[in-house]
Structure formats: C-alpha cells, structure tokens
Amino acid sequence: MTTITIQLPDDTAARVEDAARELGLTPEDLVQTSVEEKLTRLSMSFDDVVKHVVDKNAELYKRLS
C-alpha cells in the first residue's frame, strides 16, 4: 500500500475528524473511503460517456466498417 500525505486547511481537517468520529472511523479511513467513492463515480461517468458516444455514432461506425 502506498502512503500519500496531503495538507488540509485546519477547518477541513476538523470537519474530517468530526465526521470520522460520528461514523466510528479513523480520519484516514474516512478519507480513503471518500477517495475510493469519488474514483468509482468518475469511472462510472466515463463509462456512461463512452456508451453515449458509441450509441450516438453506431450508424456511422456501421458505415465505416
């Protein structure tokens, strides 16, 4: 596993710590989970865009093949 160090403004760090405490997590676990969720959403969005482009251009691809 790789370690990444980031700097957060004090108010953001306090919010992360408060949220983690409320969820029964460590701040590190909360941030890791948040990053993983964001990356999942980004990849889903990319897949949706690819599907849209392929569907939109399906007729063109058929003519070109």
Taking each helix axis from N to C end, the angle separating 27-56 and 10-23, rounded to the nearest 10 degrees, works out to 90
**What per-residue confidence (pLDDT) applies to 48?**
87
Task: Note the pLDDT tens digit of each residue in 10-53.
Answer: 999 999 999 999 999 999 999 999 999 888 888 888 888 888 88
pTM: 0.67
Count Cβ atoms below 10 Å from residue 46 Cβ, excluding itself. 10
Give residue 56's pLDDT band: very low, low, confident or very high (50, 70, 90): confident
